[in-house]
Chains A and B, each alone.
Chain A
Amino acid sequence: GESVGLHLPTLSVQEGDNSIINCAYSNSASDYFIWYKQESGKGPQFIIDIRSNMDKRQGQRVTVLLNKTVKHLSLQIAATQPGDSAVYFCAENLGLLKGSGGGADGLTFGKGTHLIIQP
């Protein structure tokens, strides 16, 4: 597996501000991307996904932007709330749109970013 450091990158924002979490992905052939939120002591929770034939997708208070040219993914959270404090992971999947049944290799996860909401 991927070797990662013990300390995740941290982003600290004021409650009510907007936050942007960035992620660089590795495989230019990846065709499906997901953002997960993981609160302390819990499993990752699906937030929003985007396919490679899109460059933007909006959900409730969240927007995901995909830039395939530079292999960059971002998650924007509007009007952050204390409940948004968590670790956020991006994940890429190869082969979803090619009919490989969910990706033979599973998801490849980024290292995660710890979002801290300051009161």
Chain B
Amino acid sequence: GAGVSQSPSNKVTEKGKDVELRCDPISGHTALYWYRQRLGQGLEFLIYFQGNSAPDKSGLPSDRFSAERTGESVSTLTIQRTQQEDSAVYLCASSPDYGYTFGSGTRLTVV
């Protein structure tokens, strides 16, 4: 596609369940980023991929969070044993070098 695609666009899950969020970057973009945005707040960096490797995982808030990328393309962000504080919009961005393009995000609500 022409842009960064994220799915699902909305996810409601029960506390304690695991969720998987998917990001399809723009074809050919080698860098991929995940950010979290809580309601009314700024963007919080989670993890960065260069190709399929993640040189910077420093933003992942706990060991319940993990991410992977395959084929230098699709990335999944997995949150295990979700907590209410995980409720936020999770944004993915991709970049060929500079000029990041963001997806529309996945709104996660943990009830």
Q: CB-CB < 8 A to B99: which residues of A?
A: 34, 46, 49
Given A43-B103, A107-B33, the answer on whether A1 and B45 have CB atoms closer than 8 Å is: yes
Interface check A78, CB cutoff 8 A: no
Of the candidate stretches B11-19, B66-74, B78-86, B90-98, the one touching chain A is B90-98
- Contact (Cβ within 8 A) A8 B40: yes
Of the candidate stretches A12-20, A59-67, A108-116, the one touching chain B is A108-116
- Contact (Cβ within 8 A) B42 A2: yes
Interface check A7, CB cutoff 8 A: yes
Interface check B1, CB cutoff 8 A: no
Minimum C-beta distance from B108 to chain A (A):
14
Minimum C-beta distance from A43 to chain B (A):
4
- Contact (Cβ within 8 A) B42 A102: no
- Contact (Cβ within 8 A) B55 A110: no
Complex Cα gap A101–B104 (Å) = 24
Given A1-B59, A104-B48, A107-B100, the answer on whether A44 and B33 have CB atoms closer than 8 Å is: no
Q: Which residue on A lies nearest to B3, using beta carbons?
A: A43
Which one of A96, A101, A105, A109 lies within 8 Å of B42 (CB-CB)? A109
Which one of B31, B36, B98 lies within 8 Å of A1 (CB-CB)? B36
Q: CB-CB < 8 A to A36: which residues of B?
A: 102
Q: Mark B35-64, 1 if CB is under 8 A from A, else 0.
A: 110011111111010100001101101000
Q: Which residue on B lies nearest to A7, using beta carbons?
A: B40
Which one of A7, A42, A89, A112 lies within 8 Å of B104 (CB-CB)? A42
Interface check A45, CB cutoff 8 A: yes
Given A101-B31, A102-B31, A106-B48, the answer on whether A43 and B41 have CB atoms closer than 8 Å is: no
Q: CB-CB < 8 A to B27: which residues of A?
A: none
**A interface residues (Cβ-Cβ under 8 A, vs B):** 1-2, 4-8, 32, 34, 36, 42-46, 49, 89, 93, 96, 101-112
Q: Rank and list the top 7 A-B pairs by shortest CB-CB distance, nearest first.
A: A1-B44, A43-B102, A109-B43, A102-B31, A106-B48, A111-B42, A43-B104
